[in-house]
Structure 1
Amino acid sequence: MLGNGEMVARLVLAGLMGSVIGFERERLQWAAGLRTHMLVCVGACLAMLVSAFGFSDMLGHKDVVLDPSRVAAQVVSGIGFLGAGTILLRGEVVKGLTTAASLWAVAAIGLAIGGGLYVAAIAATVIVVAILAGVKPIEESWRDRMQSRALHLTVKAGSLSIDTLQEVTGERASRVRQFVVRPGDNEGLEEVTIAFVRLPQASIDAVAERLKGNPAVIKVRTGSEM
Structure 2
Amino acid sequence: MRIGGIQKTSLIDYPEKISAIIFTQGCNFRCRYCYNSKLVLPELFEEPIDEKEIFSFLEKRKGKIDGVVISGGEPTIHKDLPFFVKKIKEMGFLVKIDTNGTNAKMIEELINKNLVDYIAMDIKAPIEKYEKITQVSVDKNNILKTIEILMNSSLEYEFRTTYVKSLLSFDDFRKMGKMIKNAKLYAIQAFLPTKTLIDKSLQNEERPNIEEMNKVAEIMRRYVKKCIIRE
TM-score, normalising length: structure 1:
0.22
State the structure with more CA Rg.
1
TM-score, normalising length: structure 2:
0.21
Relative to its length, the structure with more helix (as a share) is: 1
